[in-house]
Amino acid sequence: MSISFRQPGTRLVGKVVVVTGAAQGIGEATARAVAAEGAVVACLDLQADAARQVAESLPSSGCLGIGLDVADEDDVVRAIAEVRDRLGGIDVLINVAGIAGPQHRAGETPVDEWDRTQAVNLRGTFLMAKHCLPDLVARRGNIVNVASALALVGWPQESAYGPSKAGVVQFTKAVALDYAPDVRSNCVCPGAVRTPMITSVLRDHPDPDAALADYGSIHPLTGRLAEPVEIAQAIVFLASDDASFVTGVALPVDGGFTAT
């Protein structure tokens, strides 16, 4: 079997890539990174106007910005149908959309907040995959999900977020096995990343800057927060043919955090 690899900047030429959570943070960085590799990108996000602004700023022609609540199946079906109608099909699905959820011990976690965290982070990942898989199978495409380093290790007061992301890891593996050889399915597990999500978690902290520095210090490699583009570059690798023999992987992109 002959394997060939595209040069950087061309690794996703001719591909239609759907990115959820594309309005900001890792999702926006990912949309920009896959567009830089030649993909036509459908930017999906609950913030519809911001998603459209990101899409309009991308270098590829034909990129779309679409409003979407990933936890709402009817909304997912509608958005995917719009992508198909306007772009002809889907080659790669990148599930980034997620929320931090409540930071409480299990006994103090409100049930509705726990449910919402699972609905966005895990149900949303499932719904997007479920309804994109017909295209991905037909086009021998792939899925990249964004989980978290907290899917792999415990962390205090994360009884909702960590389990939701651990579910994403196991769902990734299930899809990899169920849909081989037609579809590859992988996920990345970021450490602490400089995004609006982490800022929102710390909005009530008496010294947010010091708290951000503490989060950065968990990474032995750098002692700093990751930048969204550093996660996006790992996603691009998994989405491209450079990862043609990679499936079912939960790849830590965490500056060595889970190695400790």
* Angle 78-145-248 from CA coordinates, rounded to 5°: 125
Closest CA to 239 of 26, 80, 62, 91: 91
Catalytic residue, chosen from 60, 69, 160, 161, is 161
CA atoms within 13 A on the CB side of 2: 1
3-state secondary structure (DSSP) of residue 260: coil
Residue corresponding to tokens 């994403």 = 168
Q: Which two tokens stand for residue 138?
A: 């037909």
Helices (H), the chain: 25-36, 48-57, 73-87, 111-118, 124-139, 161-179, 196-201, 208-216, 228-239
> CA-to-CA distance for 46 and 127, rounded, in angstroms?
15
Provide the terminal-to-terminal Cα distance of the chain, rounded to the nearest Å.
Answer: 39
Say if residues 222 and 193 touch (Cβ distance below 8 Å): no
Q: Which amino acid is at 209?
A: D
d(CA 119, CA 117): 5
Q: Is 161 a catalytic residue?
A: yes
- Could you give the CA distance from residue 246 to residue 239 in angstroms, rounded to a whole number? 10
| Token pair belonging to 97 | 């959309």
Catalytic residues, by residue number, are 161
